[in-house]
Amino acid sequence: MQPPEEARPRPRQQSAFVAAFLSLLFPGLGHAYVRAWTRAIGFAALPLLLLALLLGIFLKTGPIGSAVLVVANLSLILAGNVVAFIYRALAAIDAYRVVAFVNAQAEGSGRLGRRPMRLNPISVAGLAAVCLVIAGSHAVVAKYGGDAQAIVSCIQDANCDTSDSASPNPNHGPQSTDSPTPTLSLPPVGTPLASTSGAPTWNGTDRLNILLLGVDQRPGDVTFNTDTMIVVSIDPVTKNVALFSLPRDTVDVPLPVAAQGVFGSVYRGKINSLWTNARNRPDAFPGTDRQRGYNALKETLSTLYNLNIQYYVMVNFEGFRQVVDTLGGVTIDVQNPVVDDKYPGDNGTDLRVYIPAGPQHMTGSEALIYARSRHGSNDFDRAARQQRVIVSIREQTSPQTVLNNLSALLTTLKSSFKTDIPLDELPALIQLSSQVNTANIRSYVFSPPRFGTEGYPGGIYSIEPNVALIRSTVLNAFKIDPQLEALRDAVSAENGTIWVVNGSGQSGQANTLVAFLEYEGLTAIAQTQRPPTTPANTVIKVYNGRETSLPSTVALLEKVFGVQAQLVNDPSVTVDIIVTTGRSTVTMTPPPGP
């Protein structure tokens, strides 16, 4: 008699819920848990390849570049989010089924045929919970991605209304300004131009030019003045940057041909009012009613500068304040103290402002005051301060700060920023901006007396631009020594008076040198009298102690003519400096305008 066979040990059951949960963590882990290696590799391969690709992009472009790529490809990412949800859910369900099948076959070991899978209600509930968690995570991505896409679309669409109210704010009334402009008399509206601007986009090799606009736009305002107009010009070869600021009180700015039939050959009003006056003139500038003002400024400043301005970025002052606060403030090296006893407060009263010289860490409100204050100085100093604020923010904003505050920044951008930069251009622009030489930015403020003449025609302050000199400066912006340009600006601010006397015997030399000195930023006048003797070299005489108030002027003259100035006391001489040319004086001429 044979002894009875011992019962075989029952195979250990695997947990189908654990397999589904592991697939939640990463596709393929659940299959690896049950040693279904082929399926594990199959489900894990695609996510691993995708992660490797994303890691390579991140290492190549950095945090900011990667964030820009995300913003530029939101539609693709949202579509991919749906595919990823389906893929992860299938991986979890398939891992659950594989474990259930293996368990069923283990239970039926030694019996004929396959055992049917038994579904445990608790285990099925666990699988449903895993699928809900997967769906929830992708729903969050879809929500924030959709919100980001809406914000980006609104920033790029000048027709997107982001005001708090569809009607003008009654508390503000008409737009007020301390820079009034004469009322323009315009002909009736004629045939509209194309609805979209035909301006060429950046080709990646020519200079990149972006118009930065700062406006005092408040909730409900339907129009505004563009009080800050800075063109950022980047040379993609040398990575050098130039900033061109045009004072808001500039008049008689040359217009593009299409607008001349409406406004004339030049815009007679102040340039900060062009946005308002152009927005309802479809016969002068292309675009919709809301796009047209921006197109008008781009095309008009392109005409003035002989420069193709490809894009614009507009920010209202409230948005600027919020962005600076979100980034934790900004430290600005204040070159000269700012004193303003009449800074306009929000409640209509004047505030007293004092900002000492030296490095100052400012909140958004303080940086806005620093950039806008004008009563203690002038518009030209203000333009230089605005450029300094922009450069300081650019240098101090870290990628980590931007990413940590991305949600708040996007919300602020929606209500306060507008741009026409195409999304697909953003990665290339960000890559270029990350390579620019911020330590050697060339700043130009086209202010009088060097770049224009100021006056009060009709009792209203305005600036008549020196168009030829402005165009020449823009053309040669990257060829000019920045230190020499800074000296020229200092000379222009000193505004000393210089006489040029022809002592060389060369006909017309004094007039030619006057033109050259004016190009250098000096105020010079050619005299008809001749010196009693012909000097061998150029003679520079500075009269009655004026060297103390004209140090930059004296330094530039000495640099130009290569001689040392002589200090003379003579109360009968009313001019500041007299330059007498000699036999060895070289006749210098200004460079030809573009």
What are 31-81's pLDDT values in tens digits?
Answer: 888 888 888 898 999 999 999 988 888 887 777 667 777 777 788 888 888
Q: Residues 92-105, buried b or exposed e (16+ Cβ, 10 A)?
A: bbbbbbbbbbbbee
- Give Cα 247 to chain centroid, integer Å: 18
> How many alpha carbons lie under 13 Å from residue 135 in its C-beta half-sphere?
7
Helix (H, G, I), strand (E, B) or coil at 520: coil
Closest CA to 417 of 322, 325, 313, 323: 313
CA trace torsion 230, 208, 159, 80 (10° rounding)? -130
CATH class of the domain comprising 208-475: alpha beta
> What is the per-residue DSSP string for 312-372?
EEEEEHHHHHHHHHHTT-EEEEESS-EEEEEEEPTTS-EEEEEE-SEEEEE-HHHHHHHHH
What is the rounded distance in angstroms from the CA atom of residue 144 to the CA atom of residue 147?
5
- 525 within 8 A of 497, measured Cβ to Cβ: yes
Find, among 427, 317, 548, the residue nearest to 71 by Cα: 427
pTM, full prediction? 0.69
Fold of 482-580: Alpha-Beta Plaits (3.30.70)
Contacts of 155 (CB under 8 A, 6+ apart): 413, 414, 417, 418, 419
The 10 Å Cβ neighbour count of residue 583 is 13
Give the model's pLDDT for residue 347. 66
Cα distances from 79 to residues 73, 396, 406, in angstroms, run 10, 35, 22
CA-based angle 96:98:103, to the nearest 5? 95
- The pLDDT averaged over each successive group of 10 residues in the chain (594 residues) is 48 77 90 88 90 86 72 82 90 87 68 56 83 88 80 69 42 47 72 68 82 78 80 88 91 93 92 90 86 92 94 86 87 85 73 86 88 71 82 76 72 78 77 73 85 87 92 87 75 86 86 85 84 87 92 90 93 92 86 59
Picking from 279, 223, 273, 216, the residue whose alpha carbon sits closest to that of residue 250 is 273
CA distance 65 to 399: 9
Chain centre to alpha carbon of residue 25: 41
Q: What is the pLDDT of residue 348?
A: 64
- Contact 180/280 with Cβ under 8 angstroms? no
- In tens, the pLDDT along 517-534 reads 887 778 888 888 888 888
> pLDDT by residue (tens digit) across 165-185?
333 343 333 344 555 665 677
Cα 355 to Cα 178, 230, 366, 369: the distances in Å are 22, 23, 9, 9
> Which pLDDT belongs to residue 168?
38
pLDDT at 7: 44
Largest separation between any pair of C-alpha atoms in the chain: 150
**How far apart, in Å, do the first and last CA atoms of the chain sit?**
118
Tell me, what DSSP letter sits at residue 479?
T
